[in-house]
Amino acid sequence: MIQETLGKTFEPRDVEPRWYRYWEESGFFGADPASGRRPFCIVIPPPNVTGSLHIGHAFTLTLQDVIVRWRRMSGFDTLWLPGLDHAGIATQTVVERQLAKEGRRKEDLGREAFERRVWEWKDESGGTIARQLRLMGYSLDWTRERFTLDATLSRAVREVFVSLWEDGLVYRGNYIVNWCPRCVTALSDLEVEVAAENGSLWHIRYPAADGGQGIVVATTRPETLLGDTAVAVHPEDERYRHLIGRRVILPVLKREIPVVADAFVDREFGTGAVKITPAHDPNDFQAAQRLGLPAVEIMDERGVLNGNAGPYAGQDRLEARKGIVNQLSAEGLLVKSTPHQVPLGRCQRCDTVVEPRLSNQWFVRTGPLAEPAIQAVEDGRIVFVPENWSKTYFEWMRNIRDWCVSRQLWWGHRIPAWTCGGCSELIVAREDPTTCPKCGGTALVQETDVLDTWFSSGLFPFSTLGWPEKSADFRRYYPNDVMMTGFDIIFFWVARMIMLGMRFAGDVPFRKVFINGLVRDEKGEKMSKTRGNDVDPLAVIEKHGTDALRFTLTALAAPGTDPSLGEARLLGYKAFVNKLWNAARFTLMNLAGDRASAGDVAALPLPSRWILSRLQDVAGSVNAALEEFRFDQAAGALYHFLWDEVCDWYVECSKVLLADATEAPRARAVLVEVLEASLRLLHPIAPFVTEEIWQRLPHEGPSIMLAGFPKPDPTKRDPSAEEEMGRLMRLVTAIRTIRATYEVEPRRRIDATVVAGGTRDREFVARHEALVKSLARLESLEVVASAPDAARTINQPVGAVELRIPMAGLFDLAAEKTRLSKERLKVMDELDGLRKKLENPQFVQRAKPEVVAQSRERVAELEGRLAKVAATLQEMGG
RNA sequence: AGGCGCGUGGCUCAGUGGUAGAGCGCUUCCUUGACACGGAAGAGGUCGGUGGUUCAAUUCCACCCGCGCCUACCA
């Protein structure tokens, strides 16, 4: 399973596939309802079946895997359920394109053959993303993988749809919907992306039928005048009051239409007169309903003008616009046109300009569903993290509009509705009917529309668990514990899961909703294929390794922020993975099969007591951070612990300990203990490298992913060891700083003296002589109570002691005087500020006592330091 | 129009009512037996602007400027 020796650098490609296969084949990802452990469940936001893994997936799913692995190691019976979404429009479009290459259309195949063809494509491409998810190391329970078109999930869809129908929450009717003339289907409001685009505002004269001047309307869509059935003005608009009830002549078609009054007209906008095109504008449609105006459709399903468009029949909508503007201009009816910003809706999938279209569609009445869903968040049964997203949720939910759920596609859940050929009865049923319940006729025709893909996605937290059966999985894993996803689908998905879950599954679908940011490039721009700035996670894996990518994404996941992913950042964390690898290499080189125990912790040397205490601290930080979804803090704590404390200090200290034959076994034991626990802490973020190393260390159990997650034990903290080690580190750093300041070659060993007035300080330094000598590369270290002749040494106060390094041959007096003068100024500066503060009676009286005390301590310390520096300077004669 | 968020060292970003941190980059020195994907030591910031609250504000409040995003039926 593992290589014999460790290379100098970690080679991810050699180890990653091996471990994933081992985990999956061993069944380590599988949930175990019979385990008796507390369940923890999360379902994947199902990726598009024809899609491939992009960086957005990698980001949110990495965070999910971190949580899932952490919970699993912490003793939960963990289910992370994978699945795929059939993605109606997107998938159908892909297959239609394939057909187009063969010179065929889906109509040539017929519905059934086309569906078969899509299934073939699904089988082929659905495996792609599943493979990619494995490459990322995600610990999904593949035995429970679901697809939204699976029989059980389809059954759930049908159950929900029919129930809603029975409860009057589904209705069908002729309304204006968003229509994509390229996809040839209705869209929901959410599937339209509205943006302000440059257009024009045309002022067009509609002459009065009696030969008068008539009225000038303003419009951004002149071609729709062919479908006008009135002109509306505000009832109190003095300019037009005389025209209300009169008739004007519709240009081009020369049809007479009335001038009507309605308060919805904005007198300030344009000319204050608006043309009414009920069949092609949502506002006009509503106005027409109020005013009893007829609707005239002038376009077909592909945006081509129809017979009602007179001379423009057969032209595309945009082509017709040009012709009509020309004609109006020629006839002198075009008063003017001005540049105007138009809010233009485009199809989310294909970017075609969406057409408001009057058509017969199915809708879900959302009001009654939204109410309990709003309450669940209001009273905290569902909590958003970060909490602020609940505002976005409320904003949308409180103004929710009915949901158009029918799509004119062939790929999806066909709406379970039939029309009786005999009596026209509409039948909506769970089981396919064979006879009409009303007239007994058998000529039933099924609805051809399918449901919005999000309708089935909205059931995902429970349809995947077997609902509507009260299956064991459903009972155990519903509600899910947390839903983790991006803010871009709060409305599309999260809100709908809450509404449908509460109504049908009997409880909230999940307790928490964690919203992650959107991955951006290093310039902060949104990543997209069209911009060409997107990062391909698979390419990153290939280049830097999965753990590096995962660690990077985790480290960037600060709440409420959009992470910027750049190459430099990745390289930094790749280096971290390699650093860990080498710490392991060092440990294993020294281990030599030794399995001694560290024994009594209190009896261990200072660095060992210190690192074991720090380990407890970092274990606490990581657990606390993950509890609050503070991925950045968890990653940061581990990064700094391993690099700055374990590698930079403990490993270096251990070299001294290991050189001492009696000390070595315990040092090895501590080294192993710290490394092994660190690996477990790190495993949820970087699963591969941690497993690879863990397997080589003394360990129990078949895999690190099943080993216990370290829990902090406060009784194992050792504050005095941390304090002492801090002093030791400051002393070593002071020596190193002096060496660096005077450019002493790193390999050269120098002499140093520590002057300490107090007995305990002297004993302290003497006790750690070997460590200090090694860490600071000293030839000798002398500890004395006092030392004259400061003029011949470098003198540096360090806490309660003073460091003296002979100048002979290394340093010169003038440079040292300059250095000390600078230091004196710095100390005086800080002292000044502190003293002023302390002289202020307000501060002393009103500030927190500990702050005042702290300031006083600092003053005392600085004064001591200043005195020492001043004394030295005086001895040096400056 | 409404809502949300952001503006901190060269870059990308954390953070806190008590004179600021990280990663990368940069400077100097160093191939010392874990690691040059490395080591040691450094330089670098009036924390967008203006007021207010406070003994104390980068941190709280108000306004302003700049930048994102979301929602919305101004033709």
Q: What is the pLDDT of residues A418-428, one digit of tens each?
A: 998 888 889 99
Residue A518's closest CA among A454, A569, A564? A564
Mean pLDDT across the stretch A196-220?
Answer: 85
Side-chain-facing half-sphere of A465: CA atoms under 13 Å: 26
- Between the alpha carbon of residue A771 and those of residues A518, A614, A652, A798, the distances in Å are 48, 19, 9, 17
Amino acid letter for position A313:
A
User: Which is it for strands A334-347 and A192-206: parallel, antiparallel or unpaired?
Assistant: antiparallel
Confidence at residue A253, expressed as pLDDT on a 0 to 100 scale? 82
Q: Which nucleotide is nearest, taking the CA of residue A268 and each C1'?
A: B74
Q: Which nucleotide is nearest, taking the CA of residue A587 and each C1'?
A: B34
Mean pLDDT across the stretch A789-818?
Answer: 84
Mean pLDDT across the stretch A164-172?
Answer: 94
The CATH label, of 1.10.10.520, 1.10.10.10, 1.10.730.10, 3.40.630.10, for the domain at A543-717 is 1.10.730.10
- As a rounded value in angstroms, the CA-to-C1' distance for A14 and B60 is 53
Confidence at residue A209, expressed as pLDDT on a 0 to 100 scale? 82
Residue A55's closest CA among A557, A671, A786, A635? A557
- As a rounded value in angstroms, the CA-to-C1' distance for A576 and B32 is 22
Confidence at residue A834, expressed as pLDDT on a 0 to 100 scale? 86
Residue A553's closest CA among A579, A599, A516? A516
Q: Which nucleotide is nearest, taking the CA of residue A744 and each C1'?
A: B29
Q: Round the average pLDDT of chain A to a whole number and report it.
A: 89
Measure CA to C1' and name the residue nearest B4. A392
- As a rounded value in angstroms, the CA-to-C1' distance for A513 and B50 is 39
Q: Which nucleotide is nearest, taking the CA of residue A651 and each C1'?
A: B34
Measure CA to C1' and name the residue nearest B67. A524
Q: Which nucleotide is nearest, taking the CA of residue A340 and each C1'?
A: B75
Give the least confident one: A208-222, A524-538, A663-677, A849-863.
Answer: A524-538
Three-class SS state of A788: coil
Q: Which nucleotide is nearest, taking the CA of residue A568 and each C1'?
A: B24
Mean pLDDT across the stretch A704-714?
Answer: 94
Measure CA to C1' and name the residue nearest B38. A579
- As a rounded value in angstroms, the CA-to-C1' distance for A863 and B47 is 30
- As a rounded value in angstroms, the CA-to-C1' distance for A152 and B51 is 64
Residue bearing the bigger pLDDT, A695 or A812: A695
Q: Which nucleotide is nearest, taking the CA of residue A849 and each C1'?
A: B18
Break chain A into its structural domains and give their ranges: 185-356, 415-448, 543-717, 814-878
Confidence at residue A531, expressed as pLDDT on a 0 to 100 scale? 64
Confidence at residue A171, expressed as pLDDT on a 0 to 100 scale? 93
Side-chain-facing half-sphere of A491: CA atoms under 13 Å: 19
**Contacts with A78 (C-beta within 8 Å, 6 or more apart), sequence order:** A31, A39, A40, A41, A68, A71, A72
pLDDT tops 60 at residue A4: no
Nucleotides of B under 7 A from a protein CB: 2-6, 11-15, 18-19, 22-25, 28-32, 34-42, 54-56, 69-75
pLDDT tops 70 at residue A176: yes
pLDDT tops 60 at residue A481: yes
Confidence at residue A3, expressed as pLDDT on a 0 to 100 scale? 45
Mean pLDDT across the stretch A373-395?
Answer: 90
Confidence at residue A657, expressed as pLDDT on a 0 to 100 scale? 93
Instruction: With beta carbons less than 8 A apart as the criterion, state whether A129 and A52 touch.
Output: yes
Side-chain-facing half-sphere of A329: CA atoms under 13 Å: 9
pLDDT tops 60 at residue A2: no
* pLDDT tens track for A501-533: 999 999 999 999 999 888 876 666 677 666 667
Which helix (DSSP H) or strand (DSSP E) does residue A681 occupy? helix A664-682
- As a rounded value in angstroms, the CA-to-C1' distance for A828 and B62 is 38
- As a rounded value in angstroms, the CA-to-C1' distance for A558 and B17 is 23
Q: Which nucleotide is nearest, taking the CA of residue A646 and each C1'?
A: B34
What is d(CA A631, CA A65) in angstroms, rounded to the nearest whole number? 12
pLDDT tops 60 at residue A105: yes
Mean pLDDT across the stretch A274-303?
Answer: 87
End-to-end C-alpha distance for chain A, whole angstroms? 69
Residue by residue, DSSP assigns A690-752 as HHHHHTTSS--SS-GGGSPPP---GGG--HHHHHHHHHHHHHHHHHHHHHHHTT--TT--EEE
Confidence at residue A1, expressed as pLDDT on a 0 to 100 scale? 42
Residue bearing the bigger pLDDT, A540 or A877: A540
- As a rounded value in angstroms, the CA-to-C1' distance for A39 and B65 is 52
pLDDT band at A405 (very low <50, low <70, confident <90, very high): very high
pLDDT tops 90 at residue A765: yes
Give the least confident one: A86-95, A332-341, A659-668.
Answer: A332-341
Measure CA to C1' and name the residue nearest B36. A575
Question: What are residue A133's phi and psi, to 5 degrees?
Answer: -65, -35
Confidence at residue A718, expressed as pLDDT on a 0 to 100 scale? 93
Confidence at residue A353, expressed as pLDDT on a 0 to 100 scale? 87
Residue A636's closest CA among A653, A649, A624, A648? A624
Measure CA to C1' and name the residue nearest B5. A560
- As a rounded value in angstroms, the CA-to-C1' distance for A570 and B25 is 14
Confidence at residue A208, expressed as pLDDT on a 0 to 100 scale? 83
Give the least confident one: A136-145, A423-432, A446-455, A586-595.
Answer: A586-595
- As a rounded value in angstroms, the CA-to-C1' distance for A540 and B8 is 30
Mean pLDDT across the stretch A833-838?
Answer: 85
- As a rounded value in angstroms, the CA-to-C1' distance for A746 and B19 is 35
- As a rounded value in angstroms, the CA-to-C1' distance for A493 and B2 is 23
Confidence at residue A529, expressed as pLDDT on a 0 to 100 scale? 66
pLDDT tops 80 at residue A534: no
- As a rounded value in angstroms, the CA-to-C1' distance for A724 and B54 is 38
Q: Which nucleotide is nearest, taking the CA of residue A851 and each C1'?
A: B18
Q: Which nucleotide is nearest, taking the CA of residue A647 and each C1'?
A: B34
Instruction: With beta carbons less than 8 A apart as the criterion, state whether A259 and A293 touch.
Output: no
Measure CA to C1' and name the residue nearest B19. A833
- As a rounded value in angstroms, the CA-to-C1' distance for A528 and B13 is 21
Q: Which nucleotide is nearest, taking the CA of residue A640 and each C1'?
A: B22
Mean pLDDT across the stretch A156-174?
Answer: 94
**Residue found under tokens 């899932």:** A68
- As a rounded value in angstroms, the CA-to-C1' distance for A392 and B64 is 26
Confidence at residue A189, expressed as pLDDT on a 0 to 100 scale? 83
Confidence at residue A878, expressed as pLDDT on a 0 to 100 scale? 62
Residue bearing the bigger pLDDT, A521 or A236: A236
What is d(CA A301, CA A358) in angstroms, rounded to the nearest whole number? 10
**Contacts with A480 (C-beta within 8 Å, 6 or more apart), sequence order:** A41, A42, A43, A461, A509, A510, A511
Whole-number percent of chain A with pLDDT over 70: 97
Q: Which nucleotide is nearest, taking the CA of residue A487 and each C1'?
A: B70
Q: Which nucleotide is nearest, taking the CA of residue A842 and each C1'?
A: B55
Interface confidence, given as ipTM, is 0.94
- As a rounded value in angstroms, the CA-to-C1' distance for A147 and B60 is 50
Q: Which CATH architecture has domain A185-356?
A: Alpha-Beta Complex (3.90)
**Contacts with A288 (C-beta within 8 Å, 6 or more apart), sequence order:** A229, A230, A276, A278, A294, A295
Mean pLDDT across the stretch A224-230?
Answer: 89
Mean pLDDT across the stretch A161-170?
Answer: 95
pLDDT tops 80 at residue A134: yes
- As a rounded value in angstroms, the CA-to-C1' distance for A105 and B47 is 61
